[in-house]
């Protein structure tokens, strides 16, 4: 593996991680934000939900722009918006102002979510793209491991506002890396003919592509199950199970380790068994594990160790689903990679935000509604995989020679 390959993976991973970093790092602060700003649980969760929505739907615009003007300029603009939103969030006097600045911050983060996937498609396809995507996710996944741990320490020593100053500093670092370590991957000659009109035509085409929509939705409901966990876990683990913010961060990071570890096997398994077979096995394993967890907890077993063990196994399977479905969905759409990546990201976050909203309605401070939401998303992902990939042998590609 060449140093250039690794350098690109590191830079793209860090750019992709800026948005999740602004989520994971402040999760341990949700209860204290509510206390400090005199806001209820629903209002505090709205500051998380609005970030997801703006980060998701912002991709609809920034993806086609990256097809028209290149990849780097929209990334600079997104990072600038992110920094402005971070500074505003750090200084927010009320929950309403926090929600408004989180919206702005999410818009900025949308560039870091959509454009790195397009850059991967600019550079590679097939198993090489899967290998680069898994490396990108290795760097990207530093966020759910280190961010809650770092965030809890910052919150305990400096208060929740310091979290937003920290993520703003991370955006400054990302800007420097973008300027010094990443070349433009969509040259001027490839932008000819790209416009908002062609973007709209591209969106219409993609919305009629059942294979693309199926693959995106498989990952979308997998990601949604994690969003349900994100929105409820701090309240459940800290308030219901009595964990400290620091211990909560460790618990949260354990699931990220499973996700990261398995995602790094994507390239190897795809070369041996084929991308579609890896997706099918991973989705089946994830759904089975989550159904088992729901059945156990619905029977009256309310034990943190049981939930931790099965979530660890489940999120390991999920670590194989996300990179493989992303590569398969983008495979045939290199000419409109930015647009395809944008629609993919928007659908992922729209499904996730919907799942978070529904889960919030049923939230009662106990783990069962959260587990039920995770399980429902996993089962839907399994059903979509069954339809999209099909039962026949033809639907599961042969291993690479």
Burial class (CB in 10 A: 0-12, 13-18, 19+), 100: middle
Residue with more model confidence, 231 or 90:
90
173-193 mean pLDDT? 83
pLDDT at 126: 62
Report pLDDT for 96.
93
Q: How far is CA 60 from the centre of its chain?
A: 16
The answer to whether the CB of 342 falls within 8 A of the CB of 116 is: no
Question: Average model confidence (pLDDT) for the chain?
Answer: 84
Query: What pLDDT sits at residue 287?
Result: 96
- CB contact at 8 A, 279 and 389: yes
Between 35 and 392, name the one with better pLDDT. 35
> Is the confidence at residue 80, as pLDDT, over 90?
yes
- Percent of the chain at pLDDT > 90 equals 29
8 Å CB contact between 343 and 206: yes
239: confidence class by pLDDT, cuts 50, 70, 90: confident
Question: What pLDDT score was predicted for residue 128?
Answer: 67
Spatial contact of 252 and 144, defined as CB atoms under 8 Å apart: yes
Residues 320-355 pLDDT 10s: 888 888 888 887 776 777 788 888 888 887 888 788
**Does position 76 have pLDDT exceeding 50, yes or no?**
yes
pTM: 0.72
Residues 205-235: tens digit of each pLDDT? 999 999 999 999 999 999 899 888 877 887 8
Is residue 59's pLDDT more than 50? yes
Q: Do 274 and 399 contact (CB within 8 A), yes or no?
A: yes
**pLDDT score at 97:** 95
The 10s digit of each residue's pLDDT in 100-120 is 999 999 999 999 888 887 888
- C-alpha 331/C-alpha 130 separation (Å) is 10
* pLDDT score for 105: 95
The answer to whether 352 and 223 have CB atoms below 8 angstroms apart is yes
| Mean pLDDT, residues 305-315 | 92
Summarize the confidence of residues 362-386 as an average pLDDT. 92
Read out DSSP for 237-276?
IIIIS---HHHHHHHHHHHHHHHHHHHTTHHHHHHHH-HH
Phi, psi of 321 (to 5 degrees): -75, -45
137-151, 181-195, 271-285, 361-375: the lowest-pLDDT one: 137-151
pLDDT, position 399: 41
- Cα–Cα distance between 163 and 367 in angstroms, integer? 27
In angstroms, the CA 379 to CA 224 distance is 12
**What residues contact residue 37 under an 8 Å CB cut-off, 6+ apart?**
44, 92, 94, 95, 98
Residue whose token pair is 């399977």: 317
Nearest-5° Cα angle at 119, 216 to 336: 60
138 within 8 A of 9, measured Cβ to Cβ = yes
Please check the confidence at residue 392 and state whether its pLDDT lies above 50: no
């Amino acid at each position: 593996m060449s140093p250039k390959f690794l350098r690109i993976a590191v830079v793209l991973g860090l750019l992709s991680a800026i948005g999740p970093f602004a989520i994971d790092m402040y999760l341990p602060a949700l209860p204290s934000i509510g206390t400090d700003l005199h806001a209820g649980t629903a209002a505090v969760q709205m500051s998380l939900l609005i970030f997801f929505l703006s980060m998701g739907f912002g991709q609809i615009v920034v993806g086609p722009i990256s097809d028209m003007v290149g990849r780097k300029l929209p990334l600079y603009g997104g990072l600038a918006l992110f920094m402005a939103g971070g500074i505003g969030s750090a200084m927010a006097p009320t929950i309403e102002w926090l929600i408004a600045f989180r919206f702005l911050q999410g818009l900025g983060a949308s560039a870091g979510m959509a454009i790195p996937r397009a850059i991967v498609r600019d550079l590679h396809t097939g198993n090489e793209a899967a290998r680069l995507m898994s490396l990108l996710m290795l760097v990207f996944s530093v966020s759910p491991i280190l961010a809650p741990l770092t965030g809890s320490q910052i919150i305990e020593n400096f208060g929740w506002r310091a979290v937003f100053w920290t993520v703003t500093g991370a955006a400054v670092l990302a800007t420097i890396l973008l300027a010094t370590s990443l070349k433009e991957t969509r040259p001027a000659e490839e932008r000819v003919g790209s416009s908002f009109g062609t973007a709209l035509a591209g969106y219409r085409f993609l919305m009629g592509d059942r294979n693309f929509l199926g693959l995106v939705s498989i990952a979308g409901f997998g990601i949604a199950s994690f969003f349900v966990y994100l929105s409820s876990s701090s309240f459940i683990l800290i308030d219901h199970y009595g964990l400290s913010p620091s211990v909560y961060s460790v618990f949260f990071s354990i699931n990220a380790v499973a996700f990261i570890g398995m995602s790094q096997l994507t390239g190897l398994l795809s070369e041996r068994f084929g991308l579609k077979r890896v997706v099918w096995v991973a989705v089946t394993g994830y759904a089975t594990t989550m159904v088992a967890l729901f059945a156990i907890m619905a029977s009256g077993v309310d034990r943190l160790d049981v939930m931790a063990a099965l979530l660890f196994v489940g999120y390991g399977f999920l670590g194989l689903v996300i990179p493989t479905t992303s590569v398969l969905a983008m495979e045939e759409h290199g000419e409109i990679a930015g647009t395809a990546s944008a629609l993919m990201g928007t659908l992922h976050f729209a499904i996730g935000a919907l799942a978070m909203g529904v889960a919030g309605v049923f939230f009662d401070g106990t783990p069962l509604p959260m587990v039920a939401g995770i399980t429902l998303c996993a089962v839907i992902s399994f059903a979509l995989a069954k339809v999209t990939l099909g039962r026949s042998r033809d639907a599961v590609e042969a291993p690479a020679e």
